[in-house]
Amino acid sequence: MRIFDPHIHMTSRTTDDYEAMHAAGVRAVVEPAFWLGQPRTSAASFCDYFDALLGWEPFRAAQYGIAHHCTIALNPKEANDPRCTPVLAELPRYLVKDRVVAVGEIGYDSMTPAEDTALAAQLQLAADHGLPALVHTPHRDKLAGLRRTLDVVRESALPTDRVLVDHLNETTIKEAKDSGAWLGFSVYPDTKMDEARMVALLREYGPEKVLVNSAADWGRSDPLKTRKVGDLMLEEGFGEDDVDRVLWRNPVAFYGLSGRLDLDVTATAPTHEGNSVLRGAPAAEPLPTGA
């Protein structure tokens, strides 16, 4: 089973997770820029983070045979903090970089006027840069949040079929599907969506334009949830072609809209800017490589 996790925050995960993900079949990930739990206090803090998403993380992923891309944005939560909003002016220089495959994650957290402004501005940036957008939908008031999100998308210069609306569930899937957007589902250990509910939704609505992710981050989460969904799909009677479509071909098609997806994991140098996953210790044995 080949797996592309289209939404996972590897910055918050260990190198052991990369190893376990590769063993489970994960060969590609997209890491969206997001909130780190600790509030940032300046735009410079975002820039160091974006640089890590474009440097250290692809380096670390490649050690374990995983292709790493990212999405860049001011996240919805920090769009409310005036110390953070100046980062909007820094985004254009990141959005031209090779491994940036979308603007994201953007969207609503508390549905404030500041979030309106940041969402509209970043949808415009996506249109200007020929990139699709990864749009987070709020965890509270989900259906109202989805409707307002889709309204803003329709008013933007970005076509809805270049938008992935994420964190969907039973209450939001139908309207999201009817909009023509791509459909993202985050499968968590104890909130949002689980494997059984995911498979039931796939049975009811079909696999077209559906992407499943672990959204694993610093909270309670599991970077192998994608594999667990694939296994349950097979147990419940889906064919291998359906599993491959949901866990590989759909994310390839969506992020491929950027024209920048490069799924060949090239052998990288043993260090990135002088640092390695071994923290200076010599390699005892060769690290695993791709395929």
Q: Whole-number minimum distance, CB 104 to Zn ion, in Å?
A: 9
Nearer to Zn ion, 63 or 78 (CB): 78
Burial class of 32 by CB neighbour count within 10 A (0 to 12, 13 to 18, 19+): buried
Which residues are at the interface with Zn ion (CB under 5 A)?
A: 34, 215
Is residue 211 within 8 Å of 8, Cβ to Cβ? Answer: no
Q: Whole-number minimum distance, CB 271 to Zn ion, in Å?
A: 29
Nearer to Zn ion, 109 or 195 (CB): 109
Query: 170-173 contacts: CB < 8 A, separation 24 or more?
Result: 170/197, 170/201, 171/142, 171/143, 172/137, 172/142, 172/143, 172/146, 173/201, 173/205
Q: Whole-number minimum distance, CB 166 to Zn ion, in Å?
A: 7
Q: To 5 degrees, how large is the angle CA 10–CA 12–CA 15?
A: 60
Token pair for 178: 């009817």
Q: What are the residues whose beta carbons fall under 8 Å from the beta carbon of 195, sequence distance 6 or more? A: 187, 225, 228, 229, 232
Q: Whole-number minimum distance, CB 259 to Zn ion, in Å?
A: 23
Token pair for 217: 């981050």
Nearer to Zn ion, 67 or 215 (CB): 215
Q: Whole-number minimum distance, CB 291 to Zn ion, in Å?
A: 28
Nearer to Zn ion, 188 or 238 (CB): 188
Nearer to Zn ion, 135 or 277 (CB): 135
Token pair for 180: 């023509």
Q: Whole-number minimum distance, CB 115 to Zn ion, in Å?
A: 16
Q: What are the residues whose beta carbons fall under 8 Å from the beta carbon of 40, sequence distance 6 or more? A: 46, 49, 78, 81, 83, 84
Taken in order 290, 231, 217, 153, the sign of the CA dihedral is: positive
Nearer to Zn ion, 193 or 215 (CB): 215
